[in-house]
Structure 1
Amino acid sequence: MGASESKLAFKEDVFRLAREDNIPADSSWWAQFYQLPESSDDVFALWSPNDVRSITLNGTDRPFPGGQVDPKKNLETLIYTCVARLKALQTRRCYPDVHHPIAPEILNCIRILTRLLPYIYESEHLNAWEERFFWQPRRPQQVYDTKHNRDGQYIDGLEPSKIIKQENGEQISTKEIGHPLGEELITILLDYMFFPSFTLPKRLNEKGEPELKVQYSIWVSGIGCRHSAGVTKENERNATEVVRLLLALCSKQLYVHPQSVADVDNKALTYITTQCDRQVSLSVVCSLLNTVLKYNPATWRVPINFAADGDVKMRLVNVSLQLLLVLVLYPAPQGETNAFRKAISRLHRVEDFQFIQQGMNLVLTQPISGMAAYLPGNQKIVPWAPELLVLFWELLQANKRFRSFIIETDRAHDFVVLVLYYAMDARQEPSKQGFVRMCVLILQTLSVESAFGMRLNKTFIGQESLPSVLRINNFHGTYADFLITSVHSLITTTKGRLESIYPALLAIILNIAPYVVELGRATSSKLMELFALLSSPPFLLEKESNHQLLGSLLQAMTAILEYHLKDNPRFVDVIVRGRQRFIALRDFTVEGALAELDRQAHARKDRASGNDSGVTTPARHPSIDSLRSPSTTLEHVPEHDAFAIGDDDDDEDGDNSQGASSSARMSSSMHDPTVPLQSRSMSEKARGKQPVGQGNFSRSAHGSRQSSVSSLPSLITTHTSHMQQFAATPEWLETWLPHLPLHTILTVIDNAIRQPIRPRAATAPSASPAIDAPNRPIEPTQTPLPQPSSPPKMQSFQWTSLSLGWYLSLMWGLIYASDIATNKGVNGIWTGTGIKIFNIASRSYDPISLRSPKGAVDAVGNTIVQRLGSFTFSGAGGANGAGQER
């Protein structure tokens, strides 16, 4: 179709589809649609969105909202024509010359269907027709007798020359003549993935003719196959087209609202994942997986733009990964088993796990490897790195053996660094919240394993070679130190953008806390900084559930003390030096907090007016009584200053009378045998108000899905604005403050105060112990805490229909953005269609790069693609709870 005249003639025939309905199905006129186009561009350019939509409407007026109408008969005939031709070329020789090339016709049929399906899915008025036409048993199609201007005979749509006649008085229109057309199409396409002379090398039979028999040979060596099938670039190009059509066929989820996407039965995906033959599904999953993992981006070659047509391998790898994720992530209807998810869950050979780990590592390490620097113009991040992280998460969830392999062979250390790199690199972009959230949930999935927590105590080496976004200045410590410090950075440097995943971030710390030993002083100070921020009055009074985050952090700090008190002297030292903060929290009152907020508001107002002569700046030494009295303020409690060793009054001789008396009262209550264990850290006032029977209160899991937090670095705001959203009351305070896990921490503090500070045995003696002692770790003379009687309780990610909707939205957002970046203009599969799972705000056709964002997706139900390539999802799915597997 190189000549403009032929393109104009073809375009006129496209117009005829909408202008003239009921074109005879047996007419040779239909053959031009799969014979004339020479490239994918011809099909997508000559079938404009308006051309396709015009044949989805049976009339000039659009149906009323919710109304169901059938499309033009020509649309049905066109689909039947393409499917019938695909089946014919696969099952018999259609040309006298047995060596006549059939690939062009196959590709044109595939491209036409790829063009049509998204516009069928977007049309709500075709829902009933789509269900009947594609997914119910195939029935005879009645043709129109144009010669006599009346309805004609019934035929088989896949064989127009076959006339269906009435038998025994049956109703012809309801007679079942074959499997549903959608199932027929899927079977044909899966066979074309392994068709000789198309997606596999050409084979000849004993007569010297091209073989037509499908052979389920895995494309490349790897899992399930030691030898590659020897596919050529032409085979890879054809396979890319088949995979793209399968993606289009399975993309019904793009046109469903995210709140219900997890509950909708996607008929195409249900059939592929639950009804296909086992040999077919295994061949498909191994071919796709091996193709993805065998790709090596770190080769010495001239870099090729991902959006260009030159690198066929890159295109195939990209769409193969996308189709694999679509198949593996699909939640099969209740009672059905997803064969593809089952296949990856059954992997057990160590060499397979090594193959997977090496293939993922090769791609994900590109941004932090030295190879990219030697390749001028090379993209630092492989375009499908986000999708590869999705696959890694799926393998961790579905395959326990793979999870154990990653952890027990210390590969988890590498993946912790890689996942943190992608999270830290994207954390400042509001449009990438969903991607950062997924990275955090990957770490949470790993952290629930006890072996992971124990292996984090390995010393971190090579920190200086990390990218600047991940490097910690003057870092010396273990992987646990590195992980906790990175979590602290994600919380405190994102200005509240990641508030929906703060529970998951704190759950990571909580899960590894029982196994941490020799925690560094700097890391311990980071934990105290988080405690200071989460226990500040502005934060606690901002939202009704914010105290749950504080409880989760306190639970983690308690676990460190209960399981490894003697092995964490620096952490104990930091806890003791910041003891006034814990005492202030124990005696927290709503009246005192509101008074402090008023004082801060007046102080800011005076500073803004330039009159600060009468303003009292917050002292760095807290006053305990100031928290108890409603008539006083919290001005002496250091709420927002960065925590540092020595902030509080550390010397025992320097404690004022108020602090000493408070410590004495705290000590007496903690050792009073009549006070229940859970209530020994309460104030007397709180215990007096406690209802009978609450002494054995079992605290619920902290960090629920609804928990959120404002911008932690800037928490000081007037309480007037807070009260418009949530009004704190003493009754509300009593529901959670008495049950905070403070008892262990206060017990350790009390024990450390009662005994002299002794340097650790490994520390050399000092000439001036009175000066050096306060700066040395505290070595308790006795263990004040009983050994935990039960193993640590892990906080796993809990899947809900809402969180699964977020996850599917994230995946389809990545696929959509990748398709737009790869296929320019109108050549995208879903370009210009009415997608509902997220909203398209603007477009850019530049290559996707996480370092140079091109896209965004907002909250589930309100997803926005602003610049393709970056994604933000928030507000769906719990961060904690039981139930790791889907």
Structure 2
Amino acid sequence: MGSSNSKLAFKQSVFRLFEEQNIPPSDPLWEQFWKAPESAEDIYALFSVSEVRRTRDSALHNLEQLIINVTTRLIFLLGNSQVHYAPVTNTTSPTTSPSATATTGPNVESSEERPITAAQATRETLNCMRIITRVLPFIYEKQEIEEWRNELFWGMGDPLPEIARNPNAVKREDANDQEETEERPLGAALIDTLTDFLFLPGFTLPLVTGKDSTIAYTIWETGIGSTTPVGTTHQLEANKIEALRTILTILSEAMYHSPGLLPTKGVRFTSYMVCNPDKRVVLSVICSLLNTTIKYNPGWRVPYNTAGSLDPRQLLVTYCLQLLLVLVTYTVPDDEDLIALGLQIEEAVETSAIKTAQDFSRKYLKNWYRYYLGRLHRIQDLQFLADGLSRLLNQPIQSVASYLPGGQRQIEWAPELVMLFWSLVRQNSRFRNYIISSDRIHDFVVLLLYYAHTYRLDASRTGLVRLCIYVLQTISADSVFSVRLNRQFDSHNALPSSMQISGWEPAASYADYLLITTYSLMSSSNGKLAALYPSLLDTQMNLAPHLSNISRLTCSRLMQLFSTLSAPSFLVANSTNYMLVDKLLEAMTDMIVNNNHQSNANLLYTIFRSRKKFEALKELTFGRCLEEVRMHRRVAATTTAGDGDHKGDVAVSIGGDSTTAAETVRDHKGKGKDSPDGAGSSASTFSNANSGLQQSDTDWIFTPTQHWFDSWHSKLHLEIICHLLDVLPEYIPRLSTIHKAPGSSSAATSPTRGIREYPPDSDVISALRHLDDESILPDSYQRSFREPIAFEWTVAAKGWYYSVLWGAIYVMHEFIASEDGSGAGGIVAAVTGSTGASAGTAWCGVWRGTKIQLFKVQESKATGPSLLRPRGAVDAVAKSMLERLHVVK
């Protein structure tokens, strides 16, 4: 905490911001904002939410001057880093001459500027960053001042002092013949300055003896692009955290756009950062962020400690991972004007192919961070990425399986890590080919299924579940991947008990595991994943032509799923349910025909035993559907009159799962990340009595008709299967005497009961494997392979993706803010024993109390002291009071 005098001076400066109008740029007031505060808590406690908003609403010009002045000070400190960030040994050095320090901003006369120590320079730099972090979210949240905001940051008017427009302005006083430097908008100058601070010796990098403290684009960690350790300290890492958090805050304008608008409108700050073609900067940033993230190893700790659950290194890695994702996943809007952003492209505009500056701008409309991520190709780099991602994603599994519960650090990065893996698979074909050809993909498939299955019922983790399922659909479009899933799954027994499958056959493959887990996701999620059923079945369709020798248990699950999807009441529950059973029919047909029935004789045998179900679907009438719906309603009414809670009845509810892009973010106290319940969404939910499978419909209330039924029923992919059911007994007479398949109720009671009671006839299976394709397929049938179904990146899908990413960032900041029980000292200060500059690094919730539009924020009740978090009652009360003070209701 700062001294009483400095706190009072800072608070008085805050009062003047909204009590006076048009404070001049030269007023000494502005110095207080970077000189007086001694911690992040000083700024967040003394410059409250209401005071930031009051300044914005009643004295906007003062807020503008504040932003300009702190940005100017940052630029000055960076431009004079040789003086301020290196140890001062000789104050009369030529580098500290009056001409070198004359222009410090619009408010300081040259005679008043004196050399400052490295500690003072660091504190001023951090305070400037914290002021920017404090005020920008409240500028973003007010849509009415968008035009003012764009003019401030991206206009080329006259609010920006010369020192900010041109950092070399001071030097030109002694070098009049020096070439003029191009002017930059304030937004460009701010981003460039903060990026440079990430590579400033004495601030974020260690000083090198004998070298000036100038910007050094050096990769922070060994790994991709670097084999030479740079070294670091707790203080340097604390400064990195502050700089990264400030950049994330600047780019967080995305939170204040709706999911439908953000993908097309974009964020100018992000567009400028990702479209800047400076290869040296881009490679230094992306390699530093990647290596810091991938090299992190949570390691072991003493369980149940009372010192807090976060450490500075974990916090640094969190920010690195999140900023990396914001950069590599950003799509630049098609109409973005790079020249208006201040980007200077070296190539000449006047060419035969490029007629105008606007055409030239569009030519360079490229995300360079995504481009270089896709260019990684060295085997050691690809292995480095695969090993690191696998290790980090495996950490929760290993923690659960540990003999010492709580003995491993818990990390909450699953959504971000899955996003990074997805980006690498999509953008880097070499990485995708490497993990598939080396069979590393099997590990990732199991991990994705683990997260999807573990959190399938957790409404706060629906975004993570969706990510996993969409990644599976993406990689299933690769035929080589599909073929390699036929490999035997030898390590099934090493899985956590929750992920082991009862009745697992030792010879079963990864494909069996994926298909059975898919069935489990659909049948045991109580309708929470209804919007994901099409993607799950699309994945099966992509895999089907390449799968072979699927196990009997897998075949049984496919039949159970078919029984559920083909139920008359389910088919007419909404306008699209029939598409689900049709996808499953097409997948099973491909498993039998396109991949030759000989290799999947178990499936063909199981289908024949379940022939009554297929015949019933073929002969289904609209009247039969309505009759079953009425029957279910009578049963539902009867049970509702009883106890009202019988599993397996048809249930109708409003406000269930939806496919809207807006995600709900629960705050840190609920440890939630996201939820699919979009504003204004509605759904009618129907459950099948046999499996609990449910489907949501966004048609509000759907009324089926005979015409609608006829439009799809005759087009179901039943032709091949029904033909085989007719002709197979002619070739294998014993098929006519096979018992019918066990009922779905018995299968639901015991997953393996049907297999135990009805063992397949080995001679029949053998006969099916030796049948000739040409003799049993229709004469008109022509074998063909359709294009795989890839995940479609629509505007709604992009909006949803951004909402999950920024929702995770928001929650992590709130989690960090609440977990630090040490108040102003902050986690970093507690670890390093420092005060002042690094104090409060992890303390504040940056976006708390602002009106976010990208997702919804739901406050949940705070968790009190427990055995796992044994804070005292006094601490808990103080923490609760602090939260109430900082949350605007």
> TM-score with structure 2 length normalisation?
0.74
Alignment of 1:653-692 (within 5 A): none
What's the counterpart of residue 818 of structure 1? 812
Q: State whether structure 2 residue 556 is matched by structure 1 residue 505.
A: no
Report the alpha carbon displacement of residue 341 of structure 1 after superposing the two structures with TM.
0.6
What's the counterpart of residue 755 of structure 1? 731
**Alignment CA distance shift 1:347-1:37 (3 Å):** same
- Asked whether the equivalents of residues 527 and 693 of structure 2 are also in contact (C-alpha less than 8 Å), the reply is no
Report the alpha carbon displacement of residue 726 of structure 1 after superposing the two structures with TM.
2.6
For residue 84 of structure 1, the aligned residue among 72, 75, 93 is 72
Q: State whether structure 2 residue 221 is matched by structure 1 residue 229.
A: no
For residue 136 of structure 2, the aligned residue among 80, 98, 117 is 117
Q: Distance in 2 between matches of 1:609 and 1:301?
A: 54
For residue 124 of structure 2, the aligned residue among 92, 98, 105 is 105
For residue 428 of structure 2, the aligned residue among 394, 399, 404 is 399
**Alignment CA distance shift 1:405-1:585 (3 Å):** same
Q: Which letter maps to 1:421?
A: Y
- Asked whether the equivalents of residues 541 and 728 of structure 1 are also in contact (C-alpha less than 8 Å), the reply is yes
What's the counterpart of residue 833 of structure 1? 850
How many residue pairs get aligned? The number is 707
Q: State whether structure 2 residue 511 is matched by structure 1 residue 471.
A: no
Q: Distance in 2 between matches of 1:772 and 1:77?
A: 81
What's the counterpart of residue 802 of structure 1? 796
- Asked whether the equivalents of residues 512 and 554 of structure 2 are also in contact (C-alpha less than 8 Å), the reply is yes
What's the counterpart of residue 715 of structure 2? 739
For residue 398 of structure 2, the aligned residue among 357, 360, 369 is 369
Q: Distance in 2 between matches of 1:140 and 1:75?
A: 12
Q: Distance in 2 between matches of 1:41 and 1:482?
A: 51
Alignment of 1:228-627 (within 5 A): 228-297=229-298, 299-302=299-302, 308=308, 311-334=311-334, 335=362, 336-369=365-398, 373-378=402-407, 381-476=410-505, 477-562=508-593, 563-602=595-634
- Asked whether the equivalents of residues 183 and 268 of structure 1 are also in contact (C-alpha less than 8 Å), the reply is yes
Report the alpha carbon displacement of residue 789 of structure 1 after superposing the two structures with TM.
3.8
Q: Distance in 1 between matches of 2:46 and 2:804?
A: 32
**Alignment CA distance shift 1:743-1:532 (3 Å):** same
Report the alpha carbon displacement of residue 319 of structure 1 after superposing the two structures with TM.
0.6
Q: State whether structure 2 residue 706 is matched by structure 1 residue 730.
A: yes
- Asked whether the equivalents of residues 261 and 805 of structure 1 are also in contact (C-alpha less than 8 Å), the reply is yes
Report the alpha carbon displacement of residue 771 of structure 1 after superposing the two structures with TM.
10
Q: Distance in 1 between matches of 2:295 and 2:700?
A: 57
What's the counterpart of residue 777 of structure 2? 785
Q: Distance in 2 between matches of 1:531 and 1:232?
A: 59
Q: Distance in 2 between matches of 1:752 and 1:213?
A: 80
Q: Distance in 2 between matches of 1:842 and 1:724?
A: 28
Q: Secondary structure at the match of 1:56?
A: helix
**Alignment CA distance shift 1:302-1:529 (3 Å):** same
Question: 588-597 or 319-328: which moved more?
Answer: 588-597
**Alignment CA distance shift 1:845-1:74 (3 Å):** farther
Q: Distance in 2 between matches of 1:316 and 1:24?
A: 38
Q: Distance in 2 between matches of 1:772 and 1:125?
A: 71
Report the alpha carbon displacement of residue 138 of structure 1 after superposing the two structures with TM.
4.3
Q: Distance in 1 between matches of 2:564 and 2:649?
A: 7
Q: Which letter maps to 1:740?
A: L
Q: Secondary structure at the match of 2:575?
A: coil
Q: Distance in 2 between matches of 1:306 and 1:454?
A: 50
What's the counterpart of residue 189 of structure 1? 194
Q: Deviations for 1:243-277, whole angstroms, at most 9, x for unmatched residues?
A: 10100000111001111111113110010000251
Q: Distance in 1 between matches of 2:36 and 2:309?
A: 22
**Alignment CA distance shift 1:23-1:205 (3 Å):** farther
**Alignment CA distance shift 1:772-1:735 (3 Å):** closer
Q: Secondary structure at the match of 2:765?
A: coil
Report the alpha carbon displacement of residue 14 of structure 1 after superposing the two structures with TM.
1.0
Q: Secondary structure at the match of 2:460?
A: helix
What's the counterpart of residue 650 of structure 1? none
Q: Distance in 2 between matches of 1:560 and 1:16?
A: 74
- Asked whether the equivalents of residues 816 and 830 of structure 1 are also in contact (C-alpha less than 8 Å), the reply is yes
Q: Secondary structure at the match of 2:57?
A: coil
**Alignment CA distance shift 1:591-1:724 (3 Å):** farther
**Alignment CA distance shift 1:776-1:819 (3 Å):** farther
- Asked whether the equivalents of residues 197 and 243 of structure 2 are also in contact (C-alpha less than 8 Å), the reply is yes
Report the alpha carbon displacement of residue 178 of structure 1 after superposing the two structures with TM.
3.0
Gaps in structure 1 of 5+ consecutive residues: 60-70, 142-153, 164-175, 611-637, 641-704, 760-769, 853-866, 868-886
Q: Deviations for 1:187-218, whole angstroms, at most 9, x for unmatched residues?
A: 10111010010111013446xxxx23111000
- Asked whether the equivalents of residues 399 and 405 of structure 2 are also in contact (C-alpha less than 8 Å), the reply is no
Report the alpha carbon displacement of residue 88 of structure 1 after superposing the two structures with TM.
1.1
What's the counterpart of residue 213 of structure 1? 214
Report the alpha carbon displacement of residue 566 of structure 1 after superposing the two structures with TM.
0.5
Q: Which letter maps to 2:262?
A: V
Q: Deviations for 1:91-119, whole angstroms, at most 9, x for unmatched residues?
A: 12368457543211111111111111111
- Asked whether the equivalents of residues 601 and 765 of structure 2 are also in contact (C-alpha less than 8 Å), the reply is yes
> TM-score with structure 1 length normalisation?
0.74
**Alignment CA distance shift 1:225-1:772 (3 Å):** closer
Q: Secondary structure at the match of 1:745?
A: helix
**Alignment CA distance shift 1:599-1:105 (3 Å):** closer
**Alignment CA distance shift 1:304-1:372 (3 Å):** farther
Larger radius of gyration: 1
**Alignment CA distance shift 1:811-1:795 (3 Å):** same
Report the alpha carbon displacement of residue 32 of structure 1 after superposing the two structures with TM.
2.0
**Alignment CA distance shift 1:159-1:287 (3 Å):** closer
Report the alpha carbon displacement of residue 712 of structure 1 after superposing the two structures with TM.
4.2
Q: Secondary structure at the match of 1:549?
A: helix
Report the alpha carbon displacement of residue 468 of structure 1 after superposing the two structures with TM.
2.5
Q: Secondary structure at the match of 2:767?
A: coil
Q: Distance in 1 between matches of 2:582 and 2:8?
A: 70
- Asked whether the equivalents of residues 207 and 213 of structure 2 are also in contact (C-alpha less than 8 Å), the reply is no
Q: Deviations for 1:264-297, whole angstroms, at most 9, x for unmatched residues?
A: 1311001000025111011100000000001001
Q: Distance in 1 between matches of 2:699 and 2:252?
A: 45
Q: Secondary structure at the match of 1:739?
A: coil
Q: Which letter maps to 1:269?
A: T
What's the counterpart of residue 675 of structure 2? none
Q: Distance in 1 between matches of 2:772 and 2:762?
A: 19
Q: Distance in 1 between matches of 2:404 and 2:204?
A: 32
Q: Deviations for 1:596-618, whole angstroms, at most 9, x for unmatched residues?
A: 333454566678889xxxxxxxx
What's the counterpart of residue 131 of structure 1? 150
What's the counterpart of residue 3 of structure 1? 3
Q: Distance in 2 between matches of 1:722 and 1:843?
A: 28
